[in-house]
Amino acid sequence: MDFRNNIPLSKYTTFKIGGDAKYFFIANNSDELIKAISDAQKKKINYIVLGGGSNVLVSDAGFDGLVIINKSDAIKIEKNIVKAGSGVLLFNVVNKSIENNLSGLEWAAGIPGTIGGAVRGNAGAYRGQMSDSIIKVEVLRDGKIISLDKKDCGYGYRQSIFQNNKDLILSVELQLQKGDRVESEKKIKEILADRKNKQPLEFPSAGSVFKNVMIDDTIDLSRFINLPKEYLEYKKIPAAWLIDSLDLRGKTIGGAQISTKHANFIINTGKANANDVIQLISLVKMKVRNKYEIELHEEVEYVGF
């Protein structure tokens, strides 16, 4: 299999940041994806698989190995079951389900990236999450294709077993509900308008940088002033609220900025590099830790560091 050399990864991430991949390949289907990985393993080349390039920060030094762009985009719908290849863009799955009068994925409207990435990170928004609809996930494990039931995937808030093992997600099977296309389209229109109003969509970013904080016995609530009641009700403190409370909105280092529109977004104002972003992330984590004794955890994943 022929790999390309020294390809800038900034072209393949929503952050528009990152150095070169030493080796590079675009897989147009699952067979090509599996073959590329097999070749990399035989040649003892480190590899990573990227989908839509959202939710990642690539090092300025790039990646000293093979970057595979997953474009396996097969999608099949039978009754209320949707089976999609991991490289299908999430908004395509949303649109196809709506076209077939299926409901359950409206919350995902406007989220960039592929369904494989959403399954891996248990993406969620607007009181919905990926694991709500998953039946099975097909993965490549140790050279073999196996099917995992949802209960075997270790789903939690923005987490799954796939973040901690070497499984490669090949496809996912979803169970949706019979719905009404007009109602779903109305809901999606409202969500997209809300995103446009609240999120800095006009700038390159990786999406939400930090996971929200779950309220448990380790959180000292006496350290908070004016914590909204709904956060206590849902037992979750938005990372954006924490960052806002420290007056960090608009803080800039180099070409990277904590968005003035949404404090949990770091945007590329035009010439940001990965080091600028890392410094901002470190600053936010330090300030939150010092004020609230809380350790923020990134949603964004690091490549090449």
> Which positions are annotated as active-site residues?
158, 208, 299
Taking the C-alpha atoms of residue 179 and residue 107, their distance in angstroms, rounded to an integer, is: 14
Nearest by Cα to 98 from 185, 187, 195: 185
Q: State how far the Cα of 43 lies from the Cα of 31, in Å rounded to an integer.
A: 18
Q: Are 146 and 167 in contact (CB under 8 A)?
A: no
Mapping DSSP to helix (H, G, I), strand (E, B) and coil, where does residue 252 land?
strand
Q: Which residues of 179-199 are buried (b: 16+ CB within 10 A; e: fewer)?
A: beeeebeebbeebeeebeeeb
Closest CA to 34 of 167, 172, 149: 167
Other Cβ atoms closer than 10 A to 42? 8
Q: How many alpha carbons fall within 13 Å on the CB side of residue 197?
A: 6
Residue with structure tokens 């289907």? 29
- Cα–Cα distance between 297 and 143 in angstroms, integer? 32
How far apart are the C-alpha atoms of 296 and 305, rounded to whole Å?
Answer: 19
